[in-house]
Each structure stands twice: as structure tokens, then as C-alpha cells.
Amino acid sequence: MLKPLLALASLCGMLLAVPGQAATSLTIGDQFYYSSTLLEEAGELQDLPYAIQWKRFNAGGPVVEALNVGSIDVGIVGDTPVIALAARGGPIKVVAVTRNRLDGTAIVVGKDSPIHSVADLAGKRVAIWKGSWSQQLVYSALEQAGLPVDAPQYHYLMPTEAIAALSQGALDATATWEPYVSMVERQGGRILVTAKNLMPAPVYVVANTAHLEEHRAAIGDFVARLQRARDWARQHVDIYAKAWARKNNSDPAIAESWFRRDATWVEPISSQTLKDGQRTADFLVRAGVLAAPYEVTGLYDQSFNHYLQPHPSEASR
């Protein structure tokens, strides 16, 4: 009887709970087993006072759409699609923030590329995705270099497509994030410029508002576990990388490079969170993703802050 039940769990999602305490259940969107593997390896899925069902996604856009229609309770996803959905009246609140050192969000070029500065991107074939970090990074880098944002020839490609095109010489550059940056480096490419001092690029822990009050204690407990797991992962990169690579049939060396470079942590919502969110919302207007300005303050629910520890400064990490 056990084997059929395990097979059913693998098809429907991972369900974890303390026996007799599964009255509350959270459905959480997870990209490429990133968060589920993290919490499992860190021991944070033990003794849960509620159930978790993980739903696996291959990109952030579908996570946001699942939040919009209410098929998941919580999702962990980059800020741009979240802010775009909120501006359209989507039923969501940001309850916590994850950040990284931004070394792994970068404009990259291929092997033996003659491009050595942002100014060299003028007239070149550059891949971005509209309304994403990639567009925000390229626009910000060009503006800092004193170039118009239409200086390159843009190709609108998803990250996997862009990395393949770059390796084949069909592109000159692309703006992307981990693990794609590490993949480019393994292929002989290099980083042209990172997102440091150009854009905030936070990842949000987002809740659908339909059951937010009902699930408040469980969501608060989850973000606390996520914060502890991230702290654990920075001290156990090799273990986390190997486990994630096994789940995704990927190269553990790429995962280790990614996790060491990002050094991700979780923090409470702060005034800086709101400033960064407004900056991204204003970018989305300039990029034509939002038709009108959007004031972001109402998107953030700071009542979950008490579940989290204040974050140490990045310099101490």
C-alpha cells in the first residue's frame, strides 16, 4: 500500500505534515525544486504544524499566474512580474523578501567576444525578455553609460533560448541570472557587467490574499523556516548544490558556483524594500509594461516582519 501512495504523492506534489495536524495546508509554487530542496536539506520540513504541497514551475511567469488565479497560496518569484500583476489589481501581497549579492545577475557575452564595455553593445544583438530583470539591467547599464536604451538590436528570448543562441554565435550578449551566468562561464563566456549599483533585483515571497488571514500563522512559520534554511545554505553550499543538482539532473559544479555567488538571504520588508519596489514599478512604466504609474506601498504586508530576524549587512556576509 505504501508504494502506490508514494507514487501518488510524486504525481500530485510533495505533501508534508505532522500526523494529526494537517488541518491547514499551504500550496507553494517552487521553481526547479529550488526552495523545496533547500528546506528539505536544511531540516526545516521536519515537525511542520501544517501540510505543504509543492507545485513545480519552470519559470517565474507561471508562478505569478498561479497566484493570480489562486491555484497556489504562496510563490517565490522575482519582483517585476509581481509588481506588474499588483498594478493590474491582482490578489497578492508580498510578505517577505529574499536578496542576493547581485554578482549572478549580469550581462554576459560569449567566448572570444570583442565586446569589453557597455558602450560596445551599441548596434549589437542583445537578448532580453520584456518587463523582466534582463530588460531592466540592460536599460540601466546603457543609461549609466550615457547611451540610449535603443542602441542595441534586441532579440526577445527566454533565458534558455538566449544562452543557446549565445553559444551558437547567433547573439552578441544577453542579460540573465543564475544558473545561466555560470553556464555561460562554463562555455567560455564572461560577465560584462553585473547588476550591482544598477538595479535591486529582489525576489519576493508572495501570498494570494484569498486565504491570507486563514493561513497567516502557517505563512509566518514558513517564511521563518525559509530564512533559517537560507542561513544554513550559505554555510553548507556543497550539500545544497549536490542535492539540487540531483533533483534537476544538472551539473553540481554549476549549482555550487551559483549558490556561492548569490549567497541568498531572507529579510523582513523595510523602507528600502518599498523604495526598490517603486524603482521597479517606474521602470515597468518606461518599458511599456504598465500603462500608468503605480504606487507600490499597498503591495507589501509588513505584519509578517515579526516572524523574521533583522538581516545583517551584506558586508558581513
pLDDT in tens, 29-56: 998 889 999 999 999 999 999 999 999 9
- Asked if residue 93 and residue 75 are part of one domain, the reply reads yes
- Asked if residue 239 and residue 135 are part of one domain, the reply reads no
Q: Tell me the pLDDT tens digit for each residue of 176-195.
A: 999 999 999 999 999 999 99
- Asked if residue 136 and residue 85 are part of one domain, the reply reads no
- Asked if residue 120 and residue 90 are part of one domain, the reply reads no
Q: What is the pTM of this model?
A: 0.87
Range of the domain at 206: 2-100+201-316
Q: Tell me how crowded residue 49 is: count the other CB atoms within 10 A of its CB.
A: 13
- Asked if residue 228 and residue 265 are part of one domain, the reply reads yes
Mean pLDDT for the chain overall: 90
Give me the pLDDT at residue 312, please. Answer: 67
Query: Percent of the chain having pLDDT more than 70?
Result: 91
- Asked if residue 110 and residue 84 are part of one domain, the reply reads no
pLDDT band at 313 (very low <50, low <70, confident <90, very high): low
- Asked if residue 214 and residue 178 are part of one domain, the reply reads no
- Asked if residue 36 and residue 88 are part of one domain, the reply reads yes
- Asked if residue 219 and residue 75 are part of one domain, the reply reads yes
User: Residue 61 and residue 63: Cα distance in Å, rounded?
Assistant: 5
- CATH at 179: 3.40.190.10
Q: Tell me the pLDDT tens digit for each residue of 263-276.
A: 999 999 999 999 99
- Asked if residue 310 and residue 230 are part of one domain, the reply reads yes
Instruction: Examine the fold and report which residue of 152, 174, 194 is the final residue of a domain before the chain moves on.
Output: 194
At position 120, the amino acid (one-letter code) is: D
Which residue in 167, 177, 98 sits closest to 137, CA to CA?
177
Give me the pLDDT at residue 95, please. Answer: 98
- Asked if residue 115 and residue 61 are part of one domain, the reply reads no
Identify the three-state secondary structure at position 25: strand
User: Residue 167 and residue 172: Cα distance in Å, rounded?
Assistant: 9
pLDDT band at 17 (very low <50, low <70, confident <90, very high): very low
pLDDT band at 61 (very low <50, low <70, confident <90, very high): confident
User: Residue 28 and residue 225: Cα distance in Å, rounded?
Assistant: 14
What is the total count of domains within the chain?
2
- Asked if residue 149 and residue 32 are part of one domain, the reply reads no
Query: Percent of the chain having pLDDT more than 90?
Result: 84
